[in-house]
Amino acid sequence: MLLALRIEVDSLAATREAVPRLLEALQRHEAGASFYFNFGPDRGALAQGPLFEIGRDKRQRKLNRALLGPQGWARGYGRPLPAPRVGEQAAAAIRAVREAGFDTGVLAWDRAGWVRRIGTAEQAWVAAELAAACGAHAELCGEPPRATALPGWRLNRAALRQQQQMGLEFGSDTRGRHPFYPVVDGEPVRVPQLPTTLPTLAELIGDGHDEAGAVAAILARSERIPLTGHVFTVQAAADGGKRLPLLEQLLAGWRGQGHEITSLARLYKLLDRAALPWHSVLQQPSPLYGGTLAEQGPAFPG
């Protein structure tokens, strides 16, 4: 059965340092994956605080901050230091992903700005952000992106509508149970969603699980995979750094369970898209995240 990896690469350091380590680990385990990049400014100084932290309480949030490792100058990117353009300063690392045979897509143009503004953003701003990111992908990778994996599962109706207008094949921008066509605020969008179906390492460690327990809990959830597959989100900054040994345990465990570890593009290709159901997209408050996440809701019409 298929288990697809959705890898969020949200900063200059993650692109330069974590991505090469992730590539080596994936190749060792003969695993596929899809990498989604922040192509524009790395505004690390603004990517702090409740909207960007993961944890049900102060202890878990502190633990996840520590697992990101030392951030050095990045803490000042965007204020007071200039924000480096990831696509310009880490172009070689992004191209290396393509050269290694992995597919790529868009996380964001400005990840910090997206998370801060998307809740109330208008169509024009959303269109400009996605156009900038997709244009950078086309320039760096030699072709337009096929898909987005929007930061932290944050979106609005304008974002889904823009995906359709841009002709993207699919999105992986929600949390959910299985692939579906989204209906947001009553508007149907014919761009399938391949939602994240499994919890992340950051969500489990410190929330009733130690590191070994988090790996065991994810493997227990993935032991039986639905016919439409599972999607697991890798957060490159930590999962390609201090949590990399845990990710490798997951890769080995999934292999042991007999699963094919693959890309979202392959999962999409094998879907019977004519049979996909329509589901509403709900904005749900999460005790683990500041703000709300986009989640797969009831079948539409309910």
Predicted local confidence at residue 78, as pLDDT? 84
Percent of the chain with pLDDT over 70: 98
- Tell me what the mean pLDDT of segment 34-44 comes to: 96
Three-state secondary structure of 69-80: CCCHHHHHECCC
The pLDDT, as a whole number, for residue 65 is 87
Q: What SS3 class is residue 85?
A: strand
Residue 133, φ and ψ in degrees, nearest 5: -65, -45
Burial category of 124 from C-beta neighbours within 10 Å (exposed 0-12, middle 13-18, buried 19 and up): exposed
| pLDDT tens, residue by residue, 162-206 | 999 999 999 999 999 999 999 998 999 999 999 999 999 999 999
Rounded mean pLDDT, 135-161: 97
Cis, bond preceding 80 (omega within 30 deg of 0): yes
Instruction: Write down the mean pLDDT value for the chain.
Output: 95
Query: Which DSSP symbol is given to 262?
Result: E
Q: Is the pLDDT of residue 88 over 70?
A: yes
Nearest to 276 by CA among 174, 179, 169: 179
Q: 221 falls in which pLDDT band (50, 70, 90)?
A: very high
Burial degree of 142 (CB within 10 A; 0-12, 13-18, 19+): exposed
What is the pTM for the complete model shown? 0.97
Rounded mean pLDDT, 253-271: 97
Cα distance between residue 217 and residue 213, in whole Å: 6
Residue 136 confidence (pLDDT) above 80: yes
The per-residue pLDDT for 166 is 96
pLDDT of 263-278, one tens digit each?
999 999 999 999 999 9
State yes or no: pLDDT of 69 exceeds 70: no
